[in-house]
Structure 1
Amino acid sequence: MRVFITGGTGLIGTLLVKALLVQNHKITVLSRDVVKAKQKLGSDVQYCQSLDKLDSLDGYDVIINLAGESIAGKRWTAKQKERMCDSRWDTTRRLTELIKLSNTPPSIFISGSAVGYYGLQDDDAINENSEPGEGFTHLLCKKWEALAMAADNRHTRVCILRTGIVLSKDGEMLPKLVLPFKLGLGAVIASGSQYISWIHIQDMVNGILFLIDTPEARGAFNFTSPNPITNRRFAKVLSRTLFRPCLFKIPSFVIKIMMGESATLLIDGQRAIPQHLLDKHYRFAFEHIDEALADILVKKI
């Protein structure tokens, strides 16, 4: 198959490209910096510098849209929020336009989102059919998903990835959480009762491949483990895995001072269940946090 990927040099994209190459697919990656992308992904990949240079997506079987400014990397200033939205909305809007302009459109369009779509939630388990709450992440994801779903028709099925925290040594969140524990400063964050919806990087990649190979799959999919955990439980498992103490508790107000509005990523949470993946009989490689953290922190995945 011919596969077009945006965000191909990111955490998920890099491993996904490698997995697709192993399967002998022909990959094109969107990247403004082709030299840098080629250093990371190699010369077996073709590169496209701008979507504006394309007038359709004819010839591509699969489109995977993973592009977007980091959500957890910086404080959510007004300017940063604008970048987070525009980097997702503009790319997705253009991809949808190109799909509609295609005479032979792709059979599947996979586009990113996040469990932040559900906004502020209580501790009840939620699935893809649950009503969303409020908050900036919901507004961002709601429009992001709508722009992608506009491409859904009898020729092209659209799959939305409502992704939780992706656990990897190279991820945004896990290294930041691991460091204090390694320094002997491990702590429970806020009340500790807020849920973390997580997914191992291997299941993230395998899940995308699964959607490609499952013709009846379409719509929103929670890309999270079937077993979300509380922050308190996460801290306990991390402490045990690293053989480091967890003696402290960081109050919510301290997190808010440090992170501003983006503190919601740590002090609020969603207890998301990947019901649609389970209904399609996807088999998770890592269902439980104990085995996931042990695998990553020992094997350095």
Structure 2
Amino acid sequence: MQILIAGASGFLGRRLVSHLRDAGHDVTPLVRRPPRPGEVRWDPTSGVLDATVVAAADAVINLAGAGVADKRWTSQYKQVLLDSRVDTTRTIARAIAAAPDKPRVLLNSSAVGYYGDTGDHAVDETAPAGEGFLADVCKVWEAATGPAEDAGTRVVLLRTGFPLDKDGGLLKPLYLQFRLFAGGPMGSGRQYLPWISLPDWLDAVGFLLERDVSGPVNLTGPEPVTNAEFSAALGRVLHRPSLLPVPGFALRAAVGEFGGEALASQRVLPGVLVREGFTFAHQTVEEALQQAVSSITQ
């Protein structure tokens, strides 16, 4: 399969490119700098992407977007978070609509932030959008795929939870914290955390490339756990205590508005993946954590 991918240099993008190439696909990254051989330049800020390049692809994957936790949420950075997602998605969707031959599928990144704070209530893809900044971003982000869907391309919205890997995402800072005997839950610890193992995330993306599925798909593990349960599992895997909680007020003081979003409870279930027969390699958070840190502890 000929695949165009945006966001190929990010935490998930780098691993997905390798995963897809190992599976035999021909992967072409979209880049904003001068391209190297095998890459294509684009400018999503200006809405520039050659439709003939898109026409040559069987599939397009868009993972582009500024890091949610990279900086404090000033009003300026919140605009960056929104624009970096909507501009890229809109540019790709419009290029697909303009292409003489349409890619069969667009897999477009989104997030479980769409659901807002669900408390103890379990939700799947049929649940409505929640409230809060991230939920609002997800709604506009997903809507930007409209031109591609209207043009007849199958569109899948990848509502990703927290992929677990030692080198990035949620686990990277927690690993050091726990190794220093300073690990523990955030806030009350009762809020749900929608994890997924990185191998399962990669396999799910490959699965959705081939499967006749469209619309939102939750990329989360089959058994969401509370933050306290996650911390206890990580402590067991690393043979460290998990007794030092991070109070909610301290988190909000340290990182501002993002701290409030980080304390949200999201009990999100992978309803579509389960219905479509996807097989999870890691059914529990402890299995996922063991896999994620195994290369460190070997």
Counterpart residue number, 2:97: 100
User: Structure 2, unaligned stretches of length 5 or more?
Assistant: none
Structure 1 residue 131: Cα displacement: 2.1
CA contact (8 A) 2:116 2:264 kept: no
SS at match of 1:191: coil
Counterpart residue number, 1:46: 39
Counterpart residue number, 1:277: 273
Identity of aligned residues (%): 36
Counterpart residue number, 1:4: 4
Written as runs of structure 1 = structure 2, the 5 A alignment for 1:111-150 is 111-150=108-147
Give the stretch that moved more between structures: 26-35 or 74-83: 26-35
* Deviating 4+ runs (over 6 angstroms): none
- For residues 212-263 of structure 1, the C-alpha deviation after alignment (integer angstroms, 9 at most, x for no partner) is 111x211100000011110110111111111111222222111110111001
Give the stretch that moved more between structures: 101-110 or 179-188: 179-188
More strand per residue: 1
Structure 1 residues 133 and 50, CA, compared in 2 at 3 Å: closer, same or farther?
A: closer
- For residues 63-114 of structure 1, the C-alpha deviation after alignment (integer angstroms, 9 at most, x for no partner) is 0000000012211111110111101100101111111101110000110000
CA contact (8 A) 2:97 2:151 kept: no
Structure 1 residue 185: Cα displacement: 1.1
The number of residues matched between the two structures is: 293
The one of 286, 290, 297 equivalent to 2:293 is 297
User: Structure 1, unaligned stretches of length 5 or more?
Assistant: none
Counterpart residue number, 1:207: 204
Structure 1 residue 122: Cα displacement: 1.6
SS at match of 1:127: coil
Structure 1 residue 130: Cα displacement: 0.9
- For residues 151-192 of structure 1, the C-alpha deviation after alignment (integer angstroms, 9 at most, x for no partner) is 214731000000001111122221111222111111221111
Structure 1 residues 247 and 53, CA, compared in 2 at 3 Å: closer, same or farther?
A: closer
TM-score with structure 2 length normalisation?
0.93
Counterpart residue number, 1:231: 227
Structure 1 residues 290 and 34, CA, compared in 2 at 3 Å: closer, same or farther?
A: farther
TM-score with structure 1 length normalisation?
0.92
CA contact (8 A) 1:34 1:49 kept: no
CA contact (8 A) 2:158 2:217 kept: yes
For the aligned residue pairs, the C-alpha RMSD in angstroms reads: 1.7
Matched residue type, 2:43: S
